[in-house]
Chains A and B, each alone.
Chain A
Amino acid sequence: MAEAIRHDRVSPLLAVRDLRVDYGTRRALHGVGFDLARGETLALVGESGSGKSTLARALAGLLPASGGSARFDGVELVGLRPRGWRPLRRRLQLVFQDPSSSLDPRLRVGTIVAEPLAIHRSVPRPRRGAKVAELLAQVGLAQGLAARWPHQLSGGERQRVALARALATEPELLILDEPVSSLDVSVQAQILNLLASLREARGLGYLLIAHHLGVVRQLADRVAVLFAGRLVEEAPGDLLFATPLHPYTRALLAAAPRPVAGQLPRALGAAAGEAPAAAEGCAYRLRCPIAAERCAREVPALRELGAGRRAACHYPGEGP
């Protein structure tokens, strides 16, 4: 954003506290908490196993949470019954990573985009065609595409269709699960631009799940970093990229490839390679270059560090 946008933090659109998700005996999310203000874009960053997709799906009601709280505009999502979810579905939508599997291959594009309208009966049947055409136009697609089948469209076009479908009921919050990861760079740029303009036009809030830091930097107001199901750092975007505090955030930033000849991305952290998360003390300590004795004894709490930043580390800001 060229200028900082003041977001209403007093009554956030989404307030998550100590959210836990288990898969059987395995804990995928360990008490994650954050706020998302109306119209704000919060990015959740992490690698495989970080729990970011789990978080996205739990917040969208596709997975049951095992504990904690997630309030969408005051409505508690954890433990919400299917009947309670119905009205929320109009206001909270999810866009998946792979547009070739998130569109029903047996339905035409127009039918796919109109489905939310049919489910919620928000637009009477005779007017749906016009609404679909309007939605397609908003995502930059020609009207004619409504008659086509998904397999006839390119990856970028399919992702636009997925977006059009998500916007059909005029939601307030979009959860975007790796929205551009399966797209080529040139198409990715188009979709990122589209996401930015849609957000501006509709005052949408985005919960952006991504692993590519460049994408995050481009779109996010605030960034939260997840490691092994735990929130380890949260900060306004520019601050996070300028002065990352948690060793994992620093490792992620150092490892991001940059188009400079001869400059390999740096692999910070223990030379032991891809060590697992530690079960006791700080989960990151087995990979952390500055892990100390205290890190094995004491789980670092997520502490406020001023300027809207939080980090879960005993030695934030130190090390490579």
Chain B
Amino acid sequence: MSAGSAPAASSLLEVQDLSVRFPGEAGELRAVDGLSFRLARGEVLGLVGESGCGKSAAALALVDLVAPPGRRAGGRILWEGVDVAAEGARGFRALRGRRIAMVFQDPMTSLNPYLRVGEQLAEAARLRGAGRRAARARAEELLERVGIGDAARQLRAWPHELSGGQRQRAMLAMALLGEPELLVADEPTTALDVTTQARILALLRELQRERGLAVLFITHDLAVAAGLCDRVAVMYAGRIVEEASAAALFTRPLHPYTEALLACSPPMDGPRGARLRSIEGLPPRLLAAARACTFAPRCPRARPACHEGEPLLEERGGRSRRCIAPEAELAEAAPRG
């Protein structure tokens, strides 16, 4: 839990102690277990973690789209200081699609394969009150803006006729229709070729700067988060273990998991060792409440105290970490440049 300061005035979104649970055969899975973070207006926050860390469940919970039998099991979601869940489903509906937009990994499942791209966009525009002609014009304008060349022709295209990159651009266009203040992007470039990814990321940055969008960028790829995000939060076993500005996190990680994650990616530049560092073991099962540090069983820096109690997320100097190992110990590892 972050130090209990009142939400900053510029905080667009504040998540406090969010929990999401899914029933499973062996018991209830705590996919998200006490997640807390703040997102300021116009800020790009990266939520990074490996599969099963809960990042996608958290994203869905933000807009109340966790599919039953999963459920949001606790915590508060504050939008501009106001608890969204207080108004029940209505509160979320007011935000979804208007002030909060979402983009997912696989645009094929987000786009209706039986409707032409233009129709879907125009329909979304009409739902926000535009007349037919205005909706079409808006759809065309947005497609141009996201760089789908020859927008008029693409309007008439079917989703399967577009390439992966084009579909993702169409998704962005749909997301921008409602003039959102926050864009939640869940692995938007993971399924794309690396050259296409580079273009989409550049587009995201342009759009973000142009419109002052806040972005919650969810990814498993630390390097992608490094490029786009102002701040990065690393998730493990349903909660944040470290959060810092991108600059600080990548030059001086202060949590053993972040450190290990950075070390085990095969490097593109610089010296290359015959063996990569790896993280032993497997992520935890998420069934019981954490009574000790969830990473301790795999942590190369674990000490007896780590198995005795849950470390808290402590904020210091503009960054937070959930680890009892002294900062100095981590900082002395070779800095990454």
Contacts and interface: CB of A to CB of B under 8 A. Distances in A.
Given A261-B250, A261-B251, A274 B163 contact: yes
A101 interface: no
A2 B274 contact: yes
A255 B195 contact: yes
B162 to A, nearest CB: 10
A215 interface: yes
B274 A263 contact: no
B198 A267 contact: yes
A190 B278 contact: yes
B276 interface: yes
B226 interface: yes
B164 interface: yes
A164 interface: no
Given A186-B50, A256-B194, A261 B268 contact: no
A185 B261 contact: yes
Interface in B227-257: 227-228, 245-247, 249-251
Contacts of B95: none
Interface string B64-84: 000000000000000000000
Given A47-B195, A184-B220, A259-B250, A196 B275 contact: yes
Nearest to B49: A184
A265 interface: yes
How big is the A interface, by class?
35 or more
B224 interface: yes
Nearest to A266: B198
A264 B228 contact: yes
A257 B224 contact: yes
Contact of B223 (A48, A186, A254, A258): A258
Interface string A142-174: 000000000000111000000000000000000
Best-buried of B165, B197, B269 by chain A (most CB within 10 Å): B269
Interface in A193-225: 193, 196, 211-215, 217-218
Contact of A262 (B224, B246, B260, B275): B246
Interface string A255-289: 11111111111111100111000000000000000
Contacts of A213: 194, 268
A1 interface: yes
B272 A267 contact: no
Interface in A106-138: none
Contacts of A193: 275-276, 278
Contact of A185 (B50, B196, B275): B50
Interface stretch (B18-26, B31-39, B199-207, B209-217): B199-207
B208 to A, nearest CB: 12
A185 B199 contact: no
A258 B268 contact: yes
B174 interface: no
Contact of A273 (B199, B228, B250, B282): B199
A155 B260 CA distance: 19
A262 B195 contact: no
B130 to A, nearest CB: 27
Nearest to A157: B282
A305 interface: no
A269 B196 CA distance: 11
Nearest to B245: A261
Given A267-B198, A274-B165, A217 B227 contact: no
A273 B148 CA distance: 8
Contacts of A311: none
A257 B222 CA distance: 9
A189 interface: yes
Contact of B197 (A185, A241, A255, A259): A255
A236 to B, nearest CB: 14
A196 B329 CA distance: 31
Interface string B156-169: 00000001111000
A252 B194 contact: yes
Contacts of B163: 274
A251 interface: yes
B272 A255 contact: no
Nearest to B247: A261
A192 interface: yes
A268 B278 CA distance: 32
A192 B276 CA distance: 8
B142 to A, nearest CB: 16
A267 B202 contact: yes
Interface in B134-170: 147-149, 163-166
B193 to A, nearest CB: 4
A256 B221 CA distance: 11
Given A185-B265, A217-B266, A265-B201, A258 B149 contact: no
21 contacts: A184-B220, A187-B278, A189-B277, A193-B278, A213-B194, A214-B268, A215-B266, A218-B266, A253-B268, A256-B268, A257-B226, A259-B223, A259-B265, A262-B246, A264-B227, A264-B228, A267-B198, A267-B199, A273-B147, A273-B199, A274-B195
Given A213-B194, A241-B268, A261-B250, 10 more contacts: A1-B274, A185-B50, A186-B279, A214-B265, A255-B197, A256-B268, A259-B265, A261-B227, A264-B227, A264-B228
**Ranked 10 nearest A-B pairs via Cβ:** A257-B223, A261-B246, A214-B266, A189-B278, A47-B193, A189-B264, A267-B198, A186-B279, A264-B227, A255-B198
